[in-house]
Amino acid sequence: MPKVEIYTKSFCPYCVRAKRLLDMRGVAYDEIAIGGDQQARADMIQRANGRTTVPQIFVDGRHIGGCDDLFELEQSGRLAELLAA
C-alpha cells in the first residue's frame, strides 16, 4: 500500500472529513500536525506548492491536494487506483 501523509490542524473540520474518508477505506496514514510547529508548516507549504490550507494530502510523496481534492478523487474512482498502486 502506498505511503499516505496528511498535514492537519486541531479543530479543522476538513481534516476530520479527509481522515474519516481514509479511515473508511482502511487506509493507514501518517498525520503531521502543524498547529504550533512552524517548521512542519513550512515543509507542508513547500511540498504543497505554496498551498497554506489544511489538510494537505500526499500519496507516495505526490501531492494530491486538500479535502475537496480527495473527495473528487474518491467520486471519480481514481482514489482506489492511487491506493492500489
User: What is the reported pLDDT for 84?
Assistant: 87
> In the predicted model, is pLDDT for residue 71 greater than 80?
yes
CB atoms within 10 A of CB 65: 19
- Collapsing DSSP to helix, strand or coil, 8 comes out as strand
- Report the domain count for the chain: 1
CATH number at residue 41: 3.40.30.10
* Grid cell of 5 as nine digits: 501523509
The domain containing residue 18 runs over which residues? Answer: 4-84
Mean pLDDT score across all residues of the chain: 96
What is the 8-class DSSP label of residue 65?
Answer: E
| 1 confidence band (pLDDT: 50, 70, 90) | confident
Read off the pTM.
Answer: 0.95
